[in-house]
Structure 1
Amino acid sequence: MQNGSMPTRPSPTSTIPIQLKVNGQQHRFEIQPFVTLLDLLRNHMQLDGTKKGCDHGQCGACTVLINGVRINSCLKLAVSVQNSEITTIEGLGSPENLHPMQKAFVEHDAYQCGYCTPGQICSAVGMISEGHAHDREDIRELMSGNLCRCGAYTNIADAIEDAMGATASSCKEAAE
C-alpha cells in the first residue's frame, strides 16, 4: 500500500486454477476462490452422491475422504485441497462391485430415505482406517457427526460393526 491506497481485492468473477485427484482421476479446474469442495463435486463434476444437507458442517451428509481423512466437504474451500486425493461415494464402489461397507449397509438395511447414506458410508470407511473404533460404543461416538433424519442409527452401527472386522484392510486401502 503506497500513498495510503487500499490493497486490491480479486474481482468476484476472477478464477483460480486448481488441480485435484478425485476418485483416482486427475482433474484441473478454473474456479472462483470461494467455491466449496462440495459445490465443486456436485456442480462442476456432477458427482451428486455427496449430499448438501445443512451446509454448515453439522450433519455429515457431505462427508468425503481427503487423503484418507474424513471431512465435511461443505466446510472446505476447493482451493484449500489443491493436489489432494479426494474419494467420494462414487469412488468407493459401483453397483456391480460394491465396497464392503456399502454391502454391509445393504445387508443391515442401514438406510431409510438414503439421503445421509453416502456421508455415513464415507465416514465409516474413514473411521475404520483411522483405527480408533474398537467396539460399538466407539462406533457410535465416532459417527456422531453424521446425522440420520430417519433414525436408522442401530442398523448403521450394526453394518459398521459387521464390516469393521472383515473390511478393516479394505477400508484402509479405499481411504488411501
Structure 2
Amino acid sequence: VPRKFTSKVEGKMGYEDFVYFILSEEDKSSEPSLEYWFKCIDLDGNGVLTKNEMQFFYEEQLHRMECMAQEPVLFEDILCQIVDMVGPKDEGYFTLRDLKGSKLSGSVFNILFNLNKFMAYESRDPFLIRQERENPTLTEWDRFAHREYIRLSMEEDAEEASNGSADVWDESLEAPF
C-alpha cells in the first residue's frame, strides 16, 4: 500500500485519501501521482518495477478486456510499447527516475490500471491530440476538470429545459377548460 489511509475506519478511505487518489487517477503525469502509482506496482518495495510486477497488474486488464469482448493485447506487446514510451536506462526494469523523465509515463499507468483510458489511448482521436498540442500547458487534471464542468453544465441545462417544457405542457393542457 503506497500510503496509509487517514480514515479512522480500518481499510476505508477518508476524504483526504479520496482527494489524493482522485488527483492521482486523473493526472497520472504529475510528480505525486507518478510516485503514488509507482509504489502501487513496486510490490517488493525495492525501487524498481520489473516485468513480473507489471504483468501482475496487466492480468486484471486482460480479464476486463475479455469480459468486454475486446481483443486482448499480449503483455509482451504491451511491454515493448512501455519500453518505447519510457526509454528506461536499463531495459530489464523501470525506475521512478525513468518514469519521471518521460512525458508518456501517465499512459503507462493507464495501461496497467484503467482500461477505459488505455482503450482511449489506443484509439486516440486526432481532434483530441490536436487540442492537447494547441494547449500544452493544461495538465490532465485541468482537462478532467474542464470536461466535468462542461458535463455538469449540460446536465443542468437539460434539467432546466425539461422542467421548463413540463410547465409549458401543463399550462397548455389547462388552457381549454
TM over 0.5: no
TM-score by length of 1: 0.28
- In our comparison, the structure showing a higher alpha carbon Rg is 2
Higher relative contact order (CA 8 A, sep 6+): 1
TM-score by length of 2: 0.28
Compare the two structures and name the one with the higher helix fraction: 2
